[in-house]
Structure 1
Amino acid sequence: MDAWTGTSPKRNEYMSNPLTPSVCNYGALRRATRGIGQLYDEALRGAGINAAQYTLLNAISRLDAPTQGELAVDMVMDLSALGHTLKPLIRDGWVETRKDEGDARKRRIALTKAGAAKRREAEALWRPAQSRFEGLVGRGVSKELRELLDAIAAPDFATHFSI
């Protein structure tokens, strides 16, 4: 049975003390994000990294040395917030910025060897946390949730929302 029907034994296990029902989509998303963020932060603590930093290292790796603009779009961040978030990663030697070979006005963001190693170290702690989440929510529902959230975060959604 689907974990979201209210009759799943798994859902009942972790819903014995529910919060007040959300009436606002934004508020529900923010509350869920804070709660899940705390759980993933705790899971990654042993690697000396938080969930936001881990997500950023993954995006840099996945995008293969993106420009700051490309990374900001993918992370749905403005350039100022991205710069602020990158500072500790640069300070710790996990990320470096360099000029784009084709356009000196652009800055590329890349993982250093230490950054790639840190990402792998954190991934070993992230995997069990991800499995625990999927065990509670269900693998299929987890995949659907990620797809829905990715669609909501995409620029096209914002365009249609503003109409």
Structure 2
Amino acid sequence: MHAPDKAAFETTLLVRDTCLCLHAQRAARALARRFDVALKPAGITSGQFSLLMSLNRPEPPNLGSVAALLAMDRTTLTANLKPLERRRLVETTTDPTDRRTRLLRLTPAGRAVLAEAVPIWRHLHAAIETTLSDPDHLRSELNLLSGSDSQDGAG
């Protein structure tokens, strides 16, 4: 059996400088912090904005489709829904055509929070896009990496 190689400091530098996962995580955290600060007056975080926006549809989506859209497992999504349900921004109901399926719906209060948050999001999003050389290309590459070609419902 081959003994694992020791991770040399040079490897650490290589990962620091080239790792796509590390760079994507850092960028995601930095963007989330900026949106969290901006959305604070609306009383939601960037993650809650994306979740609420994913529910802003003509027909209530099921839990599984929202989890897939947001690239979350169902357990994490359920945990993220709890505070929004407690605040009565979201309600969960049983699908009348399939009792095993949970449907997620924005309440009027949830729609009001989104109405307050959207102008904040638009302003910050536009400002961030002006700092990027090709935001459409970046979006395309990120969608390629995430395996996502869906453009509906996420923030």
Asked whether the two chains share a fold, i.e. TM above 0.5, the reply is yes
TM-score of the pair, normalised by structure 2: 0.81
CA distance in 2 between partners of 1:109 and 1:80 (Å): 14
1:118 to 90, 113, 118: 113
1:73 to 68, 77, 93: 68
How much does 1:22 deviate?
2.9
Aligned length: 135
1:144 to 126, 137, 140: 137
CA distance in 1 between partners of 2:58 and 2:143 (Å): 16
Gaps of 5+ in 2: 1-15, 150-155
Aligned counterparts, 1:41-80, within 5 A: 41-62=36-57, 64-80=59-75
CA distance in 2 between partners of 1:125 and 1:145 (Å): 22
Deviating beyond 6 angstroms after TM superposition, the runs of 4 or more aligned structure 1 residues are none
CA distance in 1 between partners of 2:80 and 2:139 (Å): 23
Partner of 1:90: 85
SS in 2 for 1:86: helix
CA RMSD, 1 decimal:
1.9
SS in 2 for 1:105: strand
Aligned counterparts, 1:119-134, within 5 A: 119-134=114-129
Partner of 1:101: 96
How much does 1:63 deviate?
7.5
CA distance in 2 between partners of 1:84 and 1:38 (Å): 20
Gaps of 5+ in 1: 1-20, 157-163
SS in 2 for 1:137: coil
TM-score of the pair, normalised by structure 1: 0.77
CA distance in 2 between partners of 1:149 and 1:63 (Å): 27
Partner of 2:24: 29
- Identity score, percent: 34
SS in 1 for 2:117: helix
